[in-house]
Amino acid sequence: MRNLTSSLPPCSPTVEANAAPALNTSEFSGRLLTLSNGQPGLRGSLRAQTREPAENNGRPILDFLCSDETLDRFDEIIVASGWKLENYQKNPVFQNAHQYGDILFTLGRALNTEVRPGGEGGSAALFQRIEFATDVNPLAKIAYGLYRGKFLNAVSVGFTPLRWENGSPGTTFRRRYLEQELLEVSAVSIPANPRALQLGLKSGAVEEGDLQELAAMLRGIRTSTAQPVKSSHPFCGRNVPGGAELLQLAHAVSRLLQRF
């Protein structure tokens, strides 16, 4: 019989009602990390279908339908109907690569986040309507083009497990999350996907001018991420957390500009 486990201990008078439960580190094999709000949790990727809503009135808005109840690389399943969204909705930002230390990583915001039908076989799915900050952030403009052109088709979520069941010898999964609190939603790391940049540029989903603007923003961190960014771009001029990812992106952008 499957072992149905809840990580919610009895509430202590000294613990806030919405505080994260204590999670068993050994049970999660060292996978726990600190999420953007300081709570311990996990991160994982979800496949996402994207479409441009008809009523966007020319704004850079995309709908994401995340429906991935298949096994991930940890042999785990996230049940879409189990998402708890209240805390995420207090600050529904859409980041790049789960970087929260600087506004240049903010790609946009979620106008709507809910669980609705629409997954495989009519199952529940996590739905988001994202407005990208294309007017002020060149990285957001490129991310919008890549998702709109179908060159990126996944998002990454950060969550705290609330209730789960462990698999048995007769199941295909090691663990299935039945309830989980959503705390972060992020674009997959654009620096880790330089081929998407290349294909997006070839197809016209990303314009060369967008890359040039992004290159100007990143130029100051190409030699050393330990120094303040030297750039006239309004997002720059300070030490940048996550500089390694931006350095990787800077090199990818530079190579593309040399080729086209």
Q: What pTM was computed for the model? A: 0.79
Please give the pLDDT value at position 192: 67
Please give the pLDDT value at position 9: 32
Tokens of residue 159, six digits = 């969550």
| Positive or negative: CA dihedral 58, 60, 61, 65 | positive
Please give the pLDDT value at position 82: 95
Spatial distance between the Cα atoms of 1 and 67, rounded to a whole number of angstroms: 27
Q: Residues in the chain with pLDDT < 70?
A: 1-22, 25, 119-121, 191-192, 220-245, 260
Please give the pLDDT value at position 11: 29
In contact, 191 and 248? CB cutoff 8 Å: yes
Give the containing element (helix H, strand E) for 196.
helix 194-203
Please give the pLDDT value at position 233: 41
